[in-house]
């Protein structure tokens, strides 16, 4: 046997989240590899069948840990589609603010996250310091730092607190003023460029073969393939933003897209704060006791653009008080499982952690 077996995760500093990449290595080139998922399997899809429609609000943020608001939005949209109700206007805008703040938070975390595999810890510390401000804003809005349970079917849980606009503006301004610094420290840093330029490629053919979405797809295909643009939900069709794209998808360009999206999100939040109308933020889904609310029979697939791509909930109702079946399409499912099996081989063990990181593999949404 000429091969050596190395592991990236679950208990490894290079792996974010609890999953394991098994790598068969010759010299320092990976010859075969696969992901061993399931270490975060909680039986979500089964668990959702066992909770009522409203009880599920407490469960769904926990599907994907780093990005809980996407799940809430996805679930809320699906229920609204099944029910055929329309959400109040203000709720749409608040949802957009929350979603974009969440996107900022995860992008800051992911951008700081390249500090891990490349060893640039200063970047990580700075990015996390700024992300903590976002969490504080969330705490002011929703009462919780991470699992907000704020976007609920029918709107949002309650209105924005008074004076939060000032906090948000202040944070956005400070982040925008530090944007150039982040670029200098991160992707324009010569040592980071040495690690990321022209490595960890994702060609367009691979994108279509695997079904990669999100930044990975857009940086390879060069078109604005973003759910917010292609099939706008909430009020994304009423704000102006561009989706950063590229036709040469190496690690550096993918991180670059991520950084540009930060600027776009800042602009979207500002537009939302300016355009947001007054009014109610929530409509009830039914009458009577909320635990007995039912949802009409039907199938719905609800999609939201997460930071890693198309995030979807496939929901089936049989007309009862509980969802009949909820299937979760994790955005990183294709690159996480099939991508690691087919396209991680050939890279070097130095790059494995960076591969997993820049492809945006998130284990909780794979395992569920």
Partner 1 sequence: MKSTKFSELSQEQVDRKWWEIGDFFRRNSLWMLMYCTGCCAIELPPAMTSAYDMERLGMGPMATPRQADILLVSGYLSLKTLRRLIYTYEQMSEPKYVVGLGSCTINGGIYHDSHAVINQLDQYVPVDVYVAGCMPNTEAVMNGFVDLMDAIKHKTANGWKKYRDNYDWYRQNQIASLGEVEVHDEFHE
Partner 2 sequence: MASIELLLIIALASGFLAYLLGRVNRVYGAIVTIVSSMFVFSSLAYFGFTDSLDTTVSILPYVTFQVTYLGMFFAVMITFIYAMVSFFNPMFIKDYKYPGAYSMLYILSMAGVIGVFFTDNFMVMFFFFEFIVWTSMFLIPLGHSRKAAVSYYAFSAVGSFALLFAIFMMREAAGSFGINAGLAAISGTNAIVVFILLIVSAFAKLGAFPLHTWLPIAHGNAPHPFSPVLSGALVKLGAFVAVMALIKITPNSYVIVALDLPLAQYLVAIFAGLSIVFGTLMAIRQDDAKKLLAYSSMSHGGYILLAFSLGSSIGLSGGFYHIVTHALATGAAFLAIAAVGRQTGTTKMSELGGVIQKMPVTYVVYLIAIISMAGIPPMGGFISKWLIFQAVIDKGLILLAAAVFFGSIGSFLYVFRPLAALFLGQEKPQFKGILKEAPVIMLIPMIVLSGMNLVTGIFPNIFLQFINKVIVELGMAPVVLGTYTIQGTNGILDPLQITIAFGIGVVIAFIIFILLKKSKQVGLMDTYTAGNFIYSEELMHYSVDFYAPIERLYEKHTTHVQDMYKSLENKVKEFGNVVKYFFFTNKPEITVFWILIIIGALLWGDLL
Partner 3 sequence: MMLSMLYGVGIAFFGFVLHTSVAGINRKISGRLQKRYGPKWYQEFLDIFKLLSKRATSHGWIFDFGVIMALGGIIATAMFIPVTNNFLAFPDFDNFFIFAYLIAVGMLGMAMSASGSGNPLASIGVMRALTTMLAYDIPYMVVIVTIIKLTGTSSISGLALYQQAAGNNWFIVALPLGAIVAVLALMAGLGKKPFETYIAPAEIASGPLVEYGGKQLGMLFIMMEITHFIEVSLFVNLFLGGAENIFIFLVKYFAVYTALSLISNVYARFKIDQVVLFFYKWPLLIAIVQGFIAIYLGWVI
Quick one: which of 271, 293, 247 has its CA closest to 82? 293
Q: Dmax over Cα atoms in the chain, in whole Å?
A: 69
Least distance (Å) between residue 210 CB and partner 3? 24
User: Is the CB of 40 or the CB of 114 nearer to partner 1?
Assistant: 40
Site pattern 141..180 for partner 1 (x: CB under 8 A): ----xxx---------------------------------
DSSP secondary structure, 200-267, as one string: S---HHHHHHHT--THHHHHHH-S---HHHHS--TTGGGS-------S---HHHHHHHHHHHHHHHHH
Quick one: which of 41, 43, 78 has its CA closest to 57? 78
| 20 contributes a contact to partner 2 by CB under 8 A | yes
DSSP secondary structure, 21-62, as one string: EEEEEETTEEEEEEEE--TT---HHHHHHTS-TTTHHHHGGG
Candidates 34-42, 92-100, 113-121, 301-309; binding stretch for partner 3 (CB under 8 A): 113-121
Candidates 52-60, 125-133, 239-247, 265-273; binding stretch for partner 3 (CB under 8 A): 125-133
User: Is the CB of 66 or the CB of 344 nearer to partner 1?
Assistant: 66
List of residues 6+ apart from 248 with CB closer than 8 A: 219, 220
Least distance (Å) between residue 62 CB and partner 1? 6
Rounded-to-integer distance, Cα 206 and Cα 228, Å? 23
Residue 185, binding choice from partner 2, partner 1, partner 3, none, Cβ under 5 to 8 Å by partner class: partner 3
| 9 contributes a contact to partner 2 by CB under 8 A | yes
| 117 contributes a contact to partner 3 by CB under 8 A | yes
Site pattern 184..203 for partner 3 (x: CB under 8 A): -x---x-xx-xx--------
| 13 contributes a contact to partner 3 by CB under 8 A | yes
Rounded-to-integer distance, Cα 212 and Cα 358, Å? 13
Footprint on this chain of partner 2 (rule: CB under 8 A): 1-5, 7-12, 15, 20, 22, 24, 26-29, 36, 348
Footprint on this chain of partner 3 (rule: CB under 8 A): 4, 6, 12-14, 28, 115-122, 125-126, 129, 185, 189, 191-192, 194-195, 348-353
């Amino acid at each position: 046997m000429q091969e050596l077996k190395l592991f990236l995760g679950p208990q490894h500093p290079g792996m974010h989240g609890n999953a394991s990449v098994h790598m068969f290595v010759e010299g320092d080139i990976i010859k075969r590899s696969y992901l061993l998922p399931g270490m975060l399997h909680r039986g979500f899809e089964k668990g959702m069948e066992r909770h009522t429609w409203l009880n599920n609000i407490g469960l769904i943020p926990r599907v994907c840990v780093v990005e809980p608001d996407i799940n809430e939005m996805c679930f809320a949209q699906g229920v609204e589609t099944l029910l055929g109700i329309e959400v109040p206007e203000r709720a749409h805008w608040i949802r957009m603010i929350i979603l974009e703040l969440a996107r900022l938070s995860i992008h800051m975390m992911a951008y700081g996250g390249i500090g891990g595999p490349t060893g640039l810890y200063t970047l990580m510390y700075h990015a996390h310091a700024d992300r903590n401000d976002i969490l504080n804003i969330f705490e002011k809005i929703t009462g919780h730092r991470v699992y907000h349970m704020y976007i609920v079917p029918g709107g949002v849980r309650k209105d924005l607190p008074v004076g939060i606009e000032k906090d948000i503006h202040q944070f956005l301004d400070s982040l925008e003023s530090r944007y150039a610094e982040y670029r200098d420290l991160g992707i324009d840093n010569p040592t980071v460029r040495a690690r990321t330029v022209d490595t960890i490629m994702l060609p367009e053919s691979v994108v279509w073969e695997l079904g990669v979405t999100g930044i990975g797809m857009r940086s390879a295909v060069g078109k604005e393939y973003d759910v917010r643009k292609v099939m706008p939900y909430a009020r994304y069709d009423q704000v102006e933003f561009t989706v950063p794209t590229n036709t040469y998808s190496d690690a550096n360009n993918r991180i670059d897209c991520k950084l540009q999206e930060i600027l776009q999100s800042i602009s979207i939040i500002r537009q939302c704060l300016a355009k947001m109308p007054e009014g109610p933020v929530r409509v009830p889904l039914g009458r009577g006791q909320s635990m007995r609310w039912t949802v009409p029979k039907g199938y719905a697939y609800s999609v939201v653009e997460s930071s890693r791509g198309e995030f979807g909930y496939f929901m089936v109702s049989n007309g009862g008080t509980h969802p009949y079946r909820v299937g979760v399409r994790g955005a990183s499912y294709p690159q996480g499982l099939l991508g690691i099996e087919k396209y991680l081989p050939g890279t070097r063990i130095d790059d494995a952690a960076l591969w997993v990181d820049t492809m945006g593999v998130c284990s909780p949404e794979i395992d569920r």
